[in-house]
Amino acid sequence: MSGNRCVLITGGAQRIGAEIARTLHRSGWTVLISYRESVSQALALCANLNAERADSCAIFQADLNDPVSRDALLPSVIDRTGRLDGLVNNASSFYPTPIGAATDAQWDDLFNSNARAPFFLSQAAAPHLRATRGAIVNIVDIYAERALPNYPVYCMAKAALAMMTLSLARELGPEVRVNGVAPGNILWSTNMVKAETLAIVEERTTLKRQGSPQDIAEMVAFLLERANYVSGEIIAVDGGRRGFI
């Protein structure tokens, strides 16, 4: 592939992950996208990006909950690119686990996707990122700090990812910067617990509007490309939501 900066984006085939891929691609990055089941979306996105700039995108199927599949991802990427300059841990599972109904399988799934896989991918990526003085960006959540009713396991897993961000910034510095982005209301939800309506978004944010995937993607790009003296930070992109109950 091209000798440009290379970034791996997990869960990069759709939604916020795809917007991150498109944004970094426009900045000249070679984009490596991992996906689990979204094969048609991954193929279409990769074809579009390669049509814009030849040999600038590749896709990799990986089940990050499976240690064998997960551990094969970084070697496959390096075999293809020969280098790694950025890692965006974006892939995530999200669903309710109300007390009294939560299961071990749900615990394992939510902690695997939101904490264990990002940790072991970061560990595998560390030598390559040290060589390029690269960076890691973790997609956290404002609910790593506040409890979302009926979602205790998800909130706990994202809290683990937040602490991982701080810990790896210390462990991997000074060569590798590690930061996080905590989205607020970005994509409309039918989740009745979150009760997202335009009126509630206006009531609970200082900017009085919903955000967009582009807002998250631009912050990721900033942290990868320009925040050369920023590490160990988790930046809320939430329209000022954190100051409200």
Q: Using an 8 Å Cβ cutoff, are 165 and 234 in contact?
A: yes
Query: Distance between alpha carbon 94 and the CA centroid of its chain, in Å?
Result: 13
Does the annotation mark 154 as catalytic?
yes
20-24 contact pairs (CB < 8 A, 24+)? 20/88, 20/90, 20/213, 20/216, 20/217, 20/220, 20/221, 21/45, 21/49, 21/57, 22/49, 22/217, 23/214, 23/217, 23/218, 23/220, 23/221, 24/86, 24/217, 24/220, 24/221, 24/224
Query: Distance between alpha carbon 138 and the CA centroid of its chain, in Å?
Result: 5
Q: Using an 8 Å Cβ cutoff, are 18 and 45 in contact?
A: yes
Q: In whole angstroms, what is the distance from residue 108 CA to residue 97 CA?
A: 12
Pick the catalytic residue: 35, 143, 151, 154? 154
Amino acid at residue number 20: I
Active site residues: 154
